Amino acid sequence: MDDTLLRSLTPSVLGILVRRGADFAAAEDAVQDALVEAVRVWPTDPPRDAKGWLVTVAWRRFLDATRADVARRRRKDLVDEEPEPGPTPSVDDTLQLYFLCAHPSLTPSSAVALTLRVVGGLTTRQIAQAYLVPEATMAQRISRAKRTVSGVRLDRAGDVATVLRVLYLVFNEGYSGDVDLAAEAIRLTRQLAASIDHPEVAGLLALMLLHHARRAARVAPDGGLVPLAEQDRSLWDTGSIAEGIAILQTALARDRLGEFQAQAAIAALHADALAAEETDWVQIVEWYDELARLADSPVVRLNRAVAVGEADGPRAGLAALEALDDSLPRYAAVAAYLHERDGDVALAARLYSEAAEKASNLAERAHLTRQAARLNARRK
């Protein structure tokens, strides 16, 4: 059974049912039923036309549910006119479904969950495991999201920027449970790139590929985090790096710079360096300046301070850091790193300890605690 094929067909099958007049929530339920049936039937009786088979089964399930619901007798005309079997239309509704799932009326967490369920084809259980919440909680979240967008028509252009932010949120969740959300985000962004010609979609895909290429080197055998400068670069996926850079170069050539292209350019400069000391920090600072112009935020400024510290020395980095709020996440960790490079080991150790207390996950906390212990041992 090809799970990837099933998941790739899900959005187009759902789009066909919606265009035939099915309510979004009911259509999504019918498609999920068809996917379950495919898992049961296909291993012994594979269809010639997988998409057509799914459309036929999903439409019949929708009609069965509609006929059984007395409260929906207003759909009588729709039910009585079941389409004749035949080739499925070639129209790809995937792009509209992306826009629907990233509707501005949804919270970011609901938009991500709905995208994974509807466009990604993941089960509620898989999504719940990925987010480390009970399945019932995730089912309620998805149901509320479906009700919210049920009345939204798929006939207007959506906001590409909103869709990209949702996909980036999926990517940043990384891996938990039995679903690799980073890989899933890359798959969905590839799908989006095939549906729309937009340089920022390409920029996001390039950014994901370049970050994902370093994944094998990010974690030590004992589970500890490995900083970028200390990573074994022979473990980096050179194929993904080459693909990401090629996609980025094509996007940049269109001269419609956006924030994801700027972030990808920074990632590409890191990927280009054969060793940490060969990193072109001057160019990275310039790209952070571009990124701040496009999408300024405290996080961008914090990362820029690190780059300035590498390009112009730790004191220049600390000067850039002074303009920021010291309550920012990772502020203490960045300050610790820059003070260590400036030779103030005692202050750096104290700041690493403070950063560890504020860390949002166990792996980061453990890494920062080890940094503080390392510096405290040097002082003895």
Query: CB–CB of 351/332 below 8 Å?
Result: yes
Task: Answer yes or no: is pLDDT of 177 > 90.
Answer: no
Does 370 share its domain with 322? yes
Q: What is the pLDDT of residues 199-211, one digit of tens each?
A: 999 999 999 999 9
Residue 229: inside a domain:
yes
Average pLDDT over residues 297-312: 96
Task: Answer yes or no: is pLDDT of 312 > 60.
Answer: yes
Residue 286: count of CB within 10 angstroms of its CB:
16
- Average per-residue pLDDT for the chain: 87
Domain end (from 61, 88, 115): 88
How far apart, in Å, do the first and last CA atoms of the chain sit?
A: 61
Task: Answer yes or no: is pLDDT of 1 > 80.
Answer: no
Residue 185: inside a domain:
no
At 158, the pLDDT band (50, 70, 90 cuts) reads low
Lowest mean pLDDT among 106-110, 273-277, 297-301: 106-110
Number of domains the chain contains: 4
Does 143 share its domain with 99? yes
At 119, the pLDDT band (50, 70, 90 cuts) reads confident
Does 63 share its domain with 30? yes
Average pLDDT over residues 255-274: 96
Task: Answer yes or no: is pLDDT of 107 > 50.
Answer: yes
At 93, the pLDDT band (50, 70, 90 cuts) reads low
DSSP state of 219: B
Residue 145: inside a domain:
yes
Does 128 share its domain with 99? yes
Domain end (from 40, 56, 88): 88
Residue 186: inside a domain:
no
Does 163 share its domain with 116? yes
Task: Answer yes or no: is pLDDT of 99 > 60.
Answer: yes
Structure tokens given for 46: 């594979």
Domain end (from 296, 319, 342): 296
Does 289 share its domain with 204? yes
pLDDT at site 90: 46
What CATH number has the domain bearing residue 167?
A: 1.10.10
| Rounded CA Rg of the chain | 24
Does 316 share its domain with 265? no
Q: Which domain holds residue 43?
A: 3-88
